[in-house]
Amino acid sequence: MRLLLITFIFLFALLQYHLWFGKNGLRDHRELEQEVELALSGNAELVTRNQVMFSEIDNLKTGTDAVEERARNELGLIKEGETFFRIVPKEEN
């Protein structure tokens, strides 16, 4: 009877070791949970960025204000009848 009890205690200790420290144990589970959490936060940022891009695309397709703003900022275009002033910063010697 004593040998059976010692065997069960040994098996229980071995199973506990594998549960806590073994492959696919609780330590690995915690590390994977942290990786998933990082991936989810990264995905949330990407979803937000995509929503901004899709709204900008819709605005460019439907509205003329966004197209005009881009033409002014990126291409330097002006409307007919407008006066363009360029301010050049003073160079320091």
Would you list the DSSP string of the chain?
A: -HHHHHHHHHHHHHHHHHHHHSTTSHHHHHHHHHHHHHHHHHHHHHHHHHHHHHHHHHHHHH-SHHHHHHHHHHH----TT------PPPPP-
pTM of whole model > 0.85? no
The CA–CA distances, whole Å, from 65 to 54, 68, 77 equal: 16, 5, 14
Q: Does 75 have pLDDT greater than 80? A: yes
Q: Does 46 have pLDDT greater than 90? A: yes
